[in-house]
Amino acid sequence: MQYTTDIRVIRIMCTGRMDPAVMADAFVHGLDGLLVLGCLFGECHYVSGNFNARHKINMTKEMLAYAGMNPGRLSFRNLSSAESELFVKHVTDFSAEIRELGPLGGEADRVPLPKLREKLEIARTALAGPKLRWVVGKKPVFIDTGNKYQEVFTEHEINRTLGGIVVDEMATHSILAALQNKPASVKELAKELEIPAPETLKYVLGLKRRGFLEMESVKDHTPLYKYVEQEG
Amino acid sequence: MEKEELRIGVFVCKCGSNIAGSLDVEGLAEYASTLPNVVYAPWNLYTCADAGLEEIKKGIKEHNLNRVVVASCSPRTHEPLFRSVCGEAGMNPYFFEMVNIRDQCSWVHQDKAQAESSMDKARDLIRMGAAKAALLEPQEIITSEVEVRALVIGGGIAGLTAAISLGNRGFPVILLEKEKELGGMLRSLYRLAPMDLDASEVINAKIKEAEDNPNIEIYTGATIEKVEGFIGKFDITFSANGTSKYVRLGVVIIATGAGNLVPEGMYQYDGDKVITQWELEERFKAGKVDANNVVIIQCVGARSPERRYCSRICCAIGIKNAILIKERNPEAKVHILYRDLMMYGVENEDQLRKAKELGVRFVKYDPERPPVVEENKVTVFHHLMGKELEIPQEMVVLSTPLVGTEDGVKIGNLFRAGLDQNKFFLEAHVKLRPLDCGTDGIFICGSAHYPKDVRESIMQALGAVSRASIPLSQGEVKIEPIVTTLVNKDACRGCGLCVALCPYNALEIRDTDEGRKVNIITVACKGCGVCAATCYRHALSINSFTDYQMEAQIHSFMAA
Amino acid sequence: MAEKNVLIVGGGVAGVKAALAQADAGNKVFMVEDLPSIGGERIPQDRIISDGDFFTAPDLAAVKENNAIQVIDSAEVRSLVGENGNFKVKIHRRTPRVDREKCDDCGECIKVCPIHMYDDYNESLEWRTAVDYFNFGSGSYNVFKEDMPVCQRTCPINLDIRTYVGYIADGKYAESLATIRKKLPFPLSIGRVCPHPCEFECNRGYKDEPISICFLKRYVADHEVYNDVEPPITLPEETYPEKIAIIGGGPSGLTCAYHLALLGYQNNITVFEALPACGGMFLVGIPEYRLPKAILAKDVEFVEKHGVEIKCGVRIGKDISFDDIRKDYDAVLLAIGAHLGMSMRVKNEDAEGVFEGVKFLRDAALGNEIPNKGTCIVVGGGNVAMDVARTSLRVGFDEVNLLYRRTRKEMPASPWEVDAAEHEGIKFHFLVAPQEVVVKGGKAVGMQCLKMELGEPDASGRRRPVPIEGSEFVMDADTLFAAIGQVTDTSVVEEKHGFNIGRKFNFEVNPKTFETNVPGVFSSGDSATGAGIAIAACAGGKTAAESIHKYLRGKK
């Protein structure tokens, strides 16, 4: 049994341990490809860890793709510990796929470096943030047993919601990141972040309502907003 | 705590020629010594041999090491050994990290063309290991008391054997049986293959032995209502004959057995002229078997798309019953229509030979062209002769498989013990832990695990008892401290998101003076890390697999 | 009356003031507020110049602290009876989604709420999350619950379409079917014949095409049939002893029987069907090419397996008297449908060769003798007319002419049926009204017609056809079918039973409970509402089942 030397192995107890923020962090630091290998579905050594992993990895993929990275760089594949040949096939295939894509920030990715790194960093913050983690954490519960009111949701319903949150979270975290540098007006933010101004206004007002932003000063009748340090 | 200076020792193993055959181990050791915080980096011929282990101990003492990295083989086999050696030398055993340059480099990159990239990989892996080692934290082995009492679920042959055996060792046992009487499936059987024993005698002797044992409390007509807790402290509520009872116990043996498949709609089954082996046993008991032409069909409803498994014991049963018919009535014509014969073991082989000597005819059929049962005859395509046979019949006996039961599923859900798609209990590992369930402190035996004959059920019951006795006789369980910890209590909001996802019920929300906080039942935790990957406050982490450590490995890799 | 309880409806500024005054006077005060928080529509905090400066805040705090005042928010008054000094009030409170006892105002929920929506309060200038502070002043939270989806709202039986279509998307067919069967026992039949009003409302239609809700239902039901899956039957453990008779085994009657079985009356339900087989209009109204009998039989069998006894070939008033049924059963449902064709009110209508469309369809479905030679004329523009026309083409007529008074645009038939009929070669004659059946030797040989033009819209919103003077012409035909509507044959009950008969020859019922004026007798489906679509009849059956349950339980 021989295979490519392209891979480096990091041991985790269960794919359920794969934290979305850690996966994003790897790409922020320039990793070209990340392959998560876990048990077969239904044969998870930790009962349901790989199902949780699948939800998290799918979400991370969507987020990183939205940030401009080629989603092929992150992959989740399954095999049993006795299937050495399948292991070889997975790592060989994945290595070939990543070589095809080339280094991070190249032609295969929608956004080039160094802009991509900035965007991935924002994606990492969003993936470490509460909203996406809550929804993805509740996903298996909502699909299986439903919410507190016994309303069971279908997977595609939740995926649709998650898709919307990815867009929102990317926008809000971009705004927060931009305002951490310096106070800015809605117009300036919209221009810098390439988000339509009416939408930017709504995000800014929403953030202000939740106490993330406050008005710094008014310049030429235009309010400038600044970031408010969060506690805890 | 004052931050002490990091002093990492990296031990690179040659593993004879296993590693040194394709990697420059000395070069790796030299490279390791240049890494940050590494103060000592020797190589050994065999790190796991006495000399190598001594060298680790010596290195720790002489170089005042506070982190040890061994670059050698798989942690699956050697991590516990190296850990304990580090412990013996006075270092916390969890300041140890293992890098696998054998299974991941030297063995799988032997091509000459890969020599240089393989070295690069080995260097990266060692660097990543050292980077993780720098962030390791000390851990203490966790111990938890064990309530010395066992629960055996199921009063069939497996359950009775287990209960008696545990009772004989002096452990208090609670034996639960859902039926009104003990005995299980054996109560309806006639004679047992291959030793030709009377089934009732065997089971009655066992029942008496169990009833006479002062350590065994027996409850019939029992159902389990609620299960809480974990190994050592299972809190179980069950009801027996209308009254509810609560007990605390240390270990559980599941021996719930299996059910019989009723072959409705197959081979004209009617329970009168076409019957199952189980109905034949009852007729034997009643002395009502007088047919002259008997056809026995094997693999009815087994090894089919719905039930892919082989029930294993039906071949022996079919042949045993064929012999019984022949011995009573040598004039009787008995045909066994089979797909493959599963007659393993010396005694079973003898039985097969005996049946052939007595004149039982064996016909191999093709599942694509199954036998057709008609009034007074069975038509079958003889797979080996390649032609159609017509066999006259007065009685057709169908060998149906044992099947998993709904009761088993219920018990499985209560104890969070996994079942396979056929509703049989799953062992933790087919080869390494064949008697344990995935959840600690729960053991399986008998046909609840897989169809078994009496002999195998007894063997497995005895095995399960010996596994269950370990925590009972030690009075405590030791647990690897690679579990979830609440690293940031202030951050925890007690939201319960992690509780819902934990597959082992190892998390709960408690009201504390600081508000609602998560409480970790360390004994039940297996360290999978789903909770830590989910927590939106980043309050939870897994010992020795923290986010920082994983990120450090990645950063260290990218820093090349 | 020792206690002095005061109810204050409305928790705005005036309500708060009044509540405090009443509490000071020593009364116990209940304050009912429609919104999730008291204070009314005050200016919220973020529009006030200085923080914490609310002009009603001191009052709100006083209400909070005053033990004599109980605030019932998210609630409305449903009824008020009695007289001064002794009122009884019925208050309906919507399910509160925030446990005020436990909420400690941490605000985490707003940060993690996944639902992003326009904030109506700020005229959609902002986005809000589904959970949000209702107002900062009192710190009350409110959860916005999205309304029922438009498709579900449109569906007469209120099928949870979003869920079952979602399950199909997930590939969870069994769950999807179970969702449908919570309400509707006929996914196979309805999936084939429903005119699916839901799809016309579907929001996806604004983008491209609506979701094919109806055929998705058919798909998931067919999937079960083609994979030979036995539909799961779950009946409640708690059962009731009352016996219920259901007269008419059509969509409405069987749905009622199904839901009664689910409510716990299994094995005590008897369905009396006059025809030799069950299915009602499914069987004898909808032709084989739209709904095969074998498929329908599967749906009927599913209902039957729920402990429903079906007696076919038993006609009320002929084979068994209505009095006997009243005597033997605790409750009766009349779901006899509308199987009587309406008359065209033209001369010579009773001549030989003139048939009712519904009777023709019934005879065709049951294999009875039917006319099948020569040319025929079908009068009418609804789905029944389409069925009659398409069926008559299939049974052997050489030429089928369809007369309709208005134009194609006004036809009530489903457009795809009209297209199919046209495609099959049926000749449409629009703006033509029948005037008189031409009779020769006692037998109809044609129809004298009148051309029309469209005038002003009438009460139904459709433009009224106006005859053109002197435009009479005769259309020859061997057979004439009238398919201009159906009514219920209420003659199964006699006058002595005292049923109120409505304008459409239907049983007059309470539209909410489907109870007739005779106690213990209910009616649903076409016989209660007049001819309508199948799913509406099913919906009526379901409601009737719930009413019968309440009626029987309420008696105890």
Average pLDDT over residues B175-199: 90
Is C22 inside any structural domain? yes
Check whether residue C463 and residue C401 sit in a common domain.
Answer: yes
What local confidence, expressed as pLDDT, does residue C128 receive?
Answer: 79
What is the Cα–Cα distance from B14 to B46, expressed in whole angstroms? Answer: 6
* pLDDT at C2 > cutoff 60: no
CA distances from residue B168 to B214, B441, B462, B476, C332 in whole angstroms, order as listed: 9, 20, 12, 21, 68
Q: Which residues on adjacent β-strands are paired with residue C92? A: C76
Q: Burial letters for C257-288: b for 16+ Cβ neighbours within 10 Å, e otherwise?
A: bbbbbbbbbbebbbbbbbbebbbbbbbbbbbe
**Least Cα separation, residue A128 to chain C (angstroms):** 12
* pLDDT at C215 > cutoff 90: yes
Check whether residue C101 and residue C213 sit in a common domain.
Answer: no
Please state whether C137 falls in left (phi above 0), alpha (psi between -120 and 50) or beta.
alpha
* pLDDT at A151 > cutoff 90: no
Q: Over pLDDT 70: what percentage of chain C? A: 93
Check residues B319 and C44 and name the one with the higher pLDDT: B319
What local confidence, expressed as pLDDT, does residue C1 receive?
Answer: 44
**8 A C-beta contact, residue A30 and residue B135:** no
Q: Spell out the SS3 assignment of C35-92.
A: CCCCCCCCCCHHHCCCCCCCCCHHHHHHHHHCCCEEEECCEEEEEEEEECCEEEEEEE
Q: Which of B112-116, B163-167, C452-456, C527-531 has the lowest mean pLDDT?
A: C452-456
**8 A C-beta contact, residue B448 and residue B256:** yes
* pLDDT at C45 > cutoff 50: no
Check whether residue C426 and residue C470 sit in a common domain.
Answer: yes
Is C239 inside any structural domain? no
* pLDDT at C42 > cutoff 70: no
Tell which C residues from 104 to 143 touch B, by Cβ distance under 8 Å: 106, 108, 112
Amino acid at C281: M
For B127-161, the pLDDT digits (tens) are 999 999 999 999 998 888 999 999 999 999 999 99
Q: How confident is the model at residue C48 (pLDDT cuts 50, 70, 90)?
A: very low
A181 CB-near residues (< 8 Å, 6+ apart): none
What local confidence, expressed as pLDDT, does residue A37 receive?
Answer: 95
**8 A C-beta contact, residue C436 and residue C448:** yes
Check whether residue C387 and residue C348 sit in a common domain.
Answer: yes
**Least Cα separation, residue C223 to chain B (angstroms):** 19
Q: What is the ipTM of this complex?
A: 0.93
Measured between CA atoms, the residue of chain C closest to residue A198 is: C125
Interchain contact B495–C (C-beta under 8 A): yes
Q: How many beta-carbon pairs under 8 angstroms link B with C?
A: 4
Q: Using a CB cutoff of 8 Å and minimum separation of 24, what contacts does C158-167 make?
A: C158/C183, C158/C539, C159/C183, C159/C184, C159/C198, C161/C198, C161/C213, C162/A157, C163/A152, C163/A154, C164/C216, C164/C217, C164/C220, C165/C211, C165/C213, C165/C216, C166/A153, C166/A154, C166/A155, C166/A156, C166/A157, C167/A154
Is C513 inside any structural domain? yes
* pLDDT at C56 > cutoff 80: no
What local confidence, expressed as pLDDT, does residue A58 receive?
Answer: 95
C390 CB-near residues (< 8 Å, 6+ apart): C287, C289, C417, C420, C421, C424, C426
Measured between CA atoms, the residue of chain A closest to residue C136 is: A209
What is the Cα–Cα distance from A74 to A26, expressed in whole angstroms? Answer: 10
Q: How confident is the model at residue C138 (pLDDT cuts 50, 70, 90)?
A: low
Tell which C residues from 91 to 120 touch A, by Cβ distance under 8 Å: 95, 97, 107-108, 110-116
Q: Enumerate domains of chain B plus CATH numbers.
A: 8-139 (3.40.50), 150-258+404-477 (3.50.50.60), 264-402 (3.50.50.60), 484-543 (3.30.70.20)
Tell which A residues from 121 to 150 touch C, by Cβ distance under 8 Å: 130-131, 134-135, 149
Measured between CA atoms, the residue of chain C closest to residue B537 is: C108
Q: Do C106 and B493 touch (CB under 8 A)?
A: yes
Tokens representing C208 are 């491209």
Domain boundary (C486, C509, C535) is at C486
Identify the domain containing residue C197 by its residue range.
Answer: 150-226
Tokens representing C271 are 């369905």
**Least Cα separation, residue C112 to chain B (angstroms):** 9
For B519-541, the pLDDT digits (tens) are 998 888 889 999 999 999 999 99
Q: Which of B191-195, B302-306, C123-127, C297-301 has the lowest mean pLDDT?
A: C123-127
Tokens representing B169 are 């060792």
For B436-490, the pLDDT digits (tens) are 987 889 999 999 999 999 999 999 999 999 999 999 999 998 888 989 999 899 9
**Least Cα separation, residue B529 to chain C (angstroms):** 22
Q: Which residues on adjacent β-strands are paired with residue B21? A: none
Q: Using a CB cutoff of 8 Å and minimum separation of 24, what contacts does C549-552 make?
A: C549/C260, C549/C263, C549/C265, C550/C513, C551/C331, C551/C515, C551/C520, C551/C522, C552/C240, C552/C242, C552/C244, C552/C330, C552/C331
Q: Mean pLDDT in chain C?
A: 87
**Least Cα separation, residue C230 to chain B (angstroms):** 14
Residue B306's closest CA among B370, B401, B417?
B401
Check whether residue C213 and residue C201 sit in a common domain.
Answer: yes
Based on C-alpha coordinates, what's the Rg of chain B? Answer: 30
What is the Cα–Cα distance from A100 to A85, expressed in whole angstroms? Answer: 22
Check whether residue C312 and residue C349 sit in a common domain.
Answer: no
Q: Do B493 and C112 touch (CB under 8 A)?
A: no
What local confidence, expressed as pLDDT, does residue C328 receive?
Answer: 92
- Read out DSSP for B464-475? HHHHHHHHHHHS
Check whether residue C287 and residue C183 sit in a common domain.
Answer: no
Q: Which of A202-206, C128-132, C227-231 has the lowest mean pLDDT?
A: C128-132
Check whether residue C136 and residue C175 sit in a common domain.
Answer: no
What local confidence, expressed as pLDDT, does residue B2 receive?
Answer: 53
Q: Is beta strand B540-542 parallel, antiparallel or unpaired with respect to B484-486? A: antiparallel
B119 CB-near residues (< 8 Å, 6+ apart): B23, B24, B27, B28
What local confidence, expressed as pLDDT, does residue B1 receive?
Answer: 44
Most confidently modeled range among B97-101, B241-245, C37-41: B97-101
A13 chain-B contacts, CB cut-off 8 A? 482, 526-529, 542, 545
**8 A C-beta contact, residue A47 and residue B504:** yes
**Least Cα separation, residue B391 to chain A (angstroms):** 45
For B63-79, the pLDDT digits (tens) are 999 999 999 999 988 99
Residue B32's closest CA among B135, B134, B126?
B126
Q: Using a CB cutoff of 8 Å and minimum separation of 24, what contacts does C140-149 make?
A: C140/C36, C140/C37, C140/C73, C140/C98, C140/C100, C141/C36, C141/C98, C141/C103, C141/C109, C142/C35, C142/C36, C142/C37, C142/C74, C142/C98, C143/C97, C143/C98, C144/C115, C144/C117, C145/C97, C146/C115
Domain boundary (C470, C486, C502) is at C486
Measured between CA atoms, the residue of chain A closest to residue B132 is: A10
The CATH number of whichever domain residue C216 belongs to comes to: 1.10.1060.10
* pLDDT at B206 > cutoff 50: yes
Tell me which residues of chain A have a C-beta less than 8 Å from any C-beta of chain B: 1-3, 5, 7-14, 16-22, 25-26, 29-31, 45-49, 52, 56, 128-131, 133-134, 136-138, 140-141, 232
Q: Find the CB nearest A164 among C95, C116, C170.
A: C116
Quick one: C501 exposed, middle or buried, by C-beta within 10 A (0-12, 13-18, 19+)? middle
Check whether residue C137 and residue C176 sit in a common domain.
Answer: no
C552 CB-near residues (< 8 Å, 6+ apart): C240, C242, C244, C330, C331
C106 chain-B contacts, CB cut-off 8 A? 493
A209 chain-C contacts, CB cut-off 8 A? 46, 126, 128
The CATH number of whichever domain residue C135 belongs to comes to: 3.50.50
* pLDDT at C51 > cutoff 50: no
Q: Spell out the SS3 assignment of B161-188.
A: HHHHHHHHCCCCEEEEECCCCCCHHHHH
Tokens representing B232 are 């050592």
Count structural domains, chain C. 4
* Sequence-ordered alpha helix ranges (H) in A12-129: 20-28, 49-67, 84-101, 115-128
Per DSSP, the three-state class of B110 is: coil
What local confidence, expressed as pLDDT, does residue A161 receive?
Answer: 87
Domain boundary (C95, C122, C143) is at C143
Average pLDDT over residues C474-502: 88
For A9-62, the pLDDT digits (tens) are 999 999 999 999 999 999 999 999 999 999 988 778 787 899 999 999 999 999
Per DSSP, the three-state class of B366 is: strand
Per DSSP, the three-state class of B422 is: coil
**8 A C-beta contact, residue C393 and residue C424:** yes
The CATH number of whichever domain residue C286 belongs to comes to: 3.50.50.60
What local confidence, expressed as pLDDT, does residue C50 receive?
Answer: 47
Q: Do A17 and B537 touch (CB under 8 A)?
A: no
Question: How does DSSP classify residue C275?
Answer: S
Q: Which of A86-95, A150-159, A165-174, C92-101 has the lowest mean pLDDT?
A: C92-101
Q: Which residues on adjacent β-strands are paired with residue C369? A: none
Q: How confident is the model at residue C47 (pLDDT cuts 50, 70, 90)?
A: very low
Interchain contact B493–C (C-beta under 8 A): yes
Most confidently modeled range among B394-408, B423-437, C91-105, C112-126: B394-408
Is C236 inside any structural domain? no
Question: How does DSSP classify residue B442?
Answer: E
Measured distance between the N- and C-terminal CA atoms of chain C, rounded to whole angstroms: 31
Q: Find the CB nearest A13 among B109, B527, B534.
A: B527
Question: How does DSSP classify residue C409?
Answer: G
User: Is the C-alpha dihedral spanning B490, B496, B497, B498 positive or negative?
Assistant: positive
* pLDDT at C49 > cutoff 50: no
Q: How confident is the model at residue B295 (pLDDT cuts 50, 70, 90)?
A: very high
**Could you give phi then psi for residue B264, rounded to 5 degrees?**
-55, 130
Tokens representing A13 are 């107890």
B553 chain-A contacts, CB cut-off 8 A? 10
**Least Cα separation, residue C170 to chain B (angstroms):** 21
Q: Do A22 and B550 touch (CB under 8 A)?
A: yes
